[in-house]
Each structure stands twice: as C-alpha cells, then as structure tokens.
Structure 1
Amino acid sequence: RCNEKSVFDFYQQKCIRNEGTCYEPICTGKTNGIYADTTQACRRSYECRGGKLIAIENCPLGHLFDGSKCAPQHEVSCESPKISAIAFPFSGDDRCYGRQNGNHIIDDDQCKKFMICHENIVVDVLECPFGYVYNEVTRRCTYTGGIGSAGCMSNFMDEGDDTCSNLPDGPHLDPTTRDCKRYIECMDGRLLSKHECPRATVFNGVQCVPDVLL
C-alpha cells in the first residue's frame, strides 16, 4: 500500500511521490450493472447499484473480465485505465500482499484453510477435506488419518531428518512405533510429517483402520 504522501501509478506499477490525479467515486453516474475494473487490468469486476459500489469479484487465475463474464485472458482486450476507468479506494482482502504467487496457509489453529495468491490478490480460499490438513512444505493437503488437526503445524518436520532417505513417496509405518499406530509421510526422500492413528485403529500401510481388522 502507498503511504499518505504518495499515490500508485498504474503504468509504473509502484508508489510515486507526487500529487497524481484524484478521481470521483467509481460508480458515480453509472447505471446499475457490472463493469470491468481496468485499474486492475480487468482481473476483476465491480458492481454498481444506485450510484454506489456494492461488490468486487476477482476472476480466476488466467482469466479477465470481458464486460459480462470472466474469460481466458487471450480472448479479452482490456482498455487503458486512463480511457475507461475511474480510480477508487477500496479496502479489500490484503492477505496476499507481499506474498509470492501460489498457495499459502491461512493462519489459524486448524491448518485446514489456505488461499491462492496471484499478484498480491486473493484469487480463492479453499479448505482441505476431512482427515487432511494443509502442509506448508508441500503446498498441498496432507492426509492425517482422521485424527483431526489439533497441533497440526507441529507435525510438519524439518528437512534434516533422514528417515525417508530410502523410502518412496507416500505414507509409511513409523520405524519407531511398536504398536502400528504411528506413521510418517515421505516425499522426495524427505520426512514431511508424523501422525498417529486414533484410538482403536492402527496403520495398515495405507491408512488407519479398525484394529479388529488386523
């Protein structure tokens, strides 16, 4: 974000310390409808109703708003902001600001939700299915054996552990376990996480199953 003594220049894509140009609110004088936000290179749209801004929607990654819908970016010609847009302040979702493009975990104690960032914009927010938590190391949902997600972040291991050095990718019985309840997950010869099956279940080499089956 620019500080109060500078403004954002669309063409330079940076904050500049000059007076710049201020514009009237985006929906002033516009009829009710949905418009392409050319100040963001048509990567999102905004909706006006009664002369007021009521909604902003981001297009999926690789798509731009063509005036009626989000379409593949190679099919859309976005006009210059100086021609068609009225700059406006909008306090949107800034959780992706300063982050690299890609998946990022959403800070909470569940480790299940993550967001997709692209060019400082939150493109989407997703949640891992039941029995999985988001693994910041692999950038994907990791199976936990249905044990829940309490303390899940502490289950992700550092790269210095060589337990998985000779094991193929996937889950494996923890070599330190004596009751078949603990297992590990490996990828590219690295230990990604350690898990423990819930009560009355054991690890069968693939997943946690009721111990009466073994």
Structure 2
Amino acid sequence: KADGYYSDPKSSCRSYFYCMNGYKLTYICPGRLIFNGTECVDQQKFNCTTNSNTCTNKTNGYHADETTGCHKYVYCLQGFQITTLECPDGHVFNGKNCDLFKVQNCSKTT
C-alpha cells in the first residue's frame, strides 16, 4: 500500500495502521475513541460501519470466533474488537491458545 493511514476493518474502528516504505505500524485509539480515517474521534462524531462488533458485552481478552469454527479468535478491549488472529491449519482456539482440532465447544473461554 501507499504510505499513509488506514483503518483496521476488523477492529470496529478502534485501531488503525500507518504504512511507510512497506512497513506497517499499528495504533489503537485511546479510551472509547474510534478512527475516522484521519484521526481518533468521539464515537458520536463518526459512524463506524466497517465491521460488526463481536466484542459487545465480552470481557477484555481473547475470545473464539464461533463463525469460523474457532479457527479464528479475536482480542477484545473495553467492548471493542482490537484484532483478529488465526490458528494454524488443523488447530482451533480453545479459549486459551491454539490446539489441535478435536470436537469441542469453542464458545466457553476461561
């Protein structure tokens, strides 16, 4: 990508990237601010429509993404999805880490 700021579409506008010379730096807006494409602003000043927020009513920390069969998981902070992570092939997120796939209920986190 060209040098500049880019919203992270997986973070409900909470985080953004700065690209420079092929390198990517990740930033998180402070408090409950969201990134509007230019700067971090109050939520009432920008309508974030890039991604549904899977972290509503979830505690801070890692949570399995049940829509992917737990192959992916998200990091939630203050009710917002900060990032999405993916387990290696043949692995699923068990609530703590990526583990070899076996039949289990991935919705329970500890």
Q: TM-score, normalised by structure 1?
A: 0.29
**CA drift at 1:98:** 1.1
Structure 1 runs not aligned, ≥5 long? 1-32, 35-44, 47-55, 61-67, 74-83, 157-214
Alpha carbons 1:105, 1:134 under 8 Å: kept: yes
Deviations 1:153-194 (A, max 9, x none): 25x8xxxxxxxxxxxxxxxxxxxxxxxxxxxxxxxxxxxxxx
How far apart, in 1, do the equivalents of 2:57 and 2:100 lie?
29
Change (3 A) 1:130 1:57: same
How far apart, in 2, do the equivalents of 1:127 and 1:142 lie? Answer: 12
Q: How big is the shift at 1:135?
A: 0.5
- Contact kept in structure 2, 1:132 and 1:143, CA below 8 Å: yes
Judged with a 3 Å threshold, the aligned counterparts in structure 2 of structure 1 residues 125 and 109 are, in CA distance, closer, same or farther, namely closer
* Higher RCO (Cα < 8 Å, 6 or more apart): 2
Aligned residue-pair number: 78
Alignment-derived partner of residue 96 in structure 1: 55
CA distance in 2, matches of 1:125, 1:69: 13
- Alignment-mate amino acid for residue 80 of structure 2: I
1:85-131 deviation line (CA, Å, top 9, x unaligned): 57122234311111000000111362211111111111111111123
Give the residue type in structure 2 aligned to 1:131: G
Indicate if the aligned counterparts of 1:111 and 1:153 stay in contact, CA closer than 8 A.
Answer: no
Please give the residue correspondences for 1:128-167 in structure 2 after superposition, counting only pairs within 5 Å.
128-136=87-95, 139-144=96-101, 152-154=103-105
Tell me, yes or no, if structure 1 residue 110 matches structure 2 residue 61.
no
Superposition CA RMSD, Å: 3.6
Structure 2: distance between partners of 1:69 and 1:141: 23
**1:21-170 residue pairs with structure 2 within 5 A?**
34=5, 56=13, 58-59=15-16, 70=27, 85=41, 87-91=45-49, 92-108=51-67, 110-136=69-95, 139-144=96-101, 152-154=103-105
Deviating beyond 2 angstroms after TM superposition, the runs of 4 or more aligned structure 1 residues are 68-71, 88-93, 108-111
Counting aligned pairs with the same residue, the percent is 22
CA deviation map 1:18-54 (0-9, x unaligned): xxxxxxxxxxxxxxx75xxxxxxxxxx76xxxxxxxx
Structure 2 gap segments, 5+ residues each:
8-12, 18-24, 31-39
Larger Rg: 1
Q: Work out the CA distance in 1 between the residues paired with 2:91 and 2:41.
A: 43
